[in-house]
Structure 1
Amino acid sequence: MILGHVWGPSYANETHYLKVYAYRIRKKLHDEQGRFLQTDPSAGYRLKATGT
């Protein structure tokens, strides 16, 4: 769903793109353990809000 909306319908099935961008975002956030950007198998990716 994200792929189709962001990159267009021709990329809707290219899930590797999304995995690469999630990896790059985690790397920039220094979030190797997935504390901020979480992978939810049933929903996709989720940005976790913190109290700080």
Structure 2
Amino acid sequence: MSRRINDPGLRQRVNDVRRWLADGLDVPVDQVWDSLREWSHRAGPWHPAATSA
């Protein structure tokens, strides 16, 4: 099942991670998680209802 991400910022972050993975993740894994964690704290709480199928 595929889900569409409506939040443009979150969608960009997910695309960044996909690109890093496709490129062989030459970014340290800890840096990736720290970046996502930092962004998610700034973005506020996420709720599944914010996405659509």
Alignment TM-score, normalising by the size of structure 2? 0.36
More helix by share: 2
Alignment TM-score, normalising by the size of structure 1? 0.37
